[in-house]
């Protein structure tokens, strides 16, 4: 996935001289006016992850439908957490979308009091994904 937004790597805390509003993400400045669902950020692993995604906190009605529709609209990142209780709906929406799994990113958080290894190992089962 390629970044379509105008961006430049800058030291943390640096400000561009002028221009449209910017969003600081890690040590990268992204032109906020140029961001869209295809704008990505490169992780230290070399993989890219979309900057904009669908958040599922408090998404209690038709979670699967919302996720399916977001993916149909071009979103490629779904953000959730184990304590949201949205895992089954998120997984169902991803499956119903028909989008190949490697074309989207699923971001989830692990509670600070949880065993991170066990929680991460259990996540695919909670979403019904492989």
pLDDT per residue as tens digits for the range 95-129: 999 999 899 999 988 888 888 888 878 877 888 88
What distances in angstroms separate CA 68 from CA 9, 37, 78, one per listed residue? 33, 15, 10
Of 84, 86, 92, 93, the active-site residue reads 84
In this structure, are 94 and 41 located in the same domain? no
Residue ranges of the chain with pLDDT lower than 70?
A: 1-33
Distance between CA atoms of residues 26 and 109, nearest Å? 18
Counted domains in the chain: 2
The answer to whether residue 2 sits within a structural domain is no
User: Is 84 marked active-site?
Assistant: yes
Identify whether residues 27 and 80 lie together within a single domain.
no
Domain membership of residue 108 as a residue range: 54-127
What pLDDT is recorded for position 128?
A: 87
Write down the pLDDT at residue 13: 43
pLDDT number for residue 10: 39
pLDDT at 18: 52
> Is 59 in the same domain as 46?
no
* 35 in the same domain as 61: no
Looking at the structure, do residues 59 and 86 belong to the same domain, yes or no? yes
């Amino acid at each position: 996935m390629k970044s379509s937004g105008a961006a430049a790597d800058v030291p943390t805390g640096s400000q561009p001289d002028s221009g449209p509003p910017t969003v600081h993400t890690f040590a990268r400045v992204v032109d906020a006016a140029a961001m869209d669902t295809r704008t990505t950020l490169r992780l230290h692993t070399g993989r890219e992850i979309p900057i904009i995604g669908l958040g599922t906190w408090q998404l209690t009605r038709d979670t699967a439908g919302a996720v399916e529709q977001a993916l149909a609209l071009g979103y490629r990142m779904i953000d959730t957490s184990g304590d949201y209780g949205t895992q089954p709906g998120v997984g169902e929406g991803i499956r119903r979308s028909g989008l190949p799994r490697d074309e989207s990113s699923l971001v989830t958080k692990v509670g600070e009091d949880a065993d991170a290894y066990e929680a991460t190992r259990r996540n695919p089962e909670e979403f019904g994904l492989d």
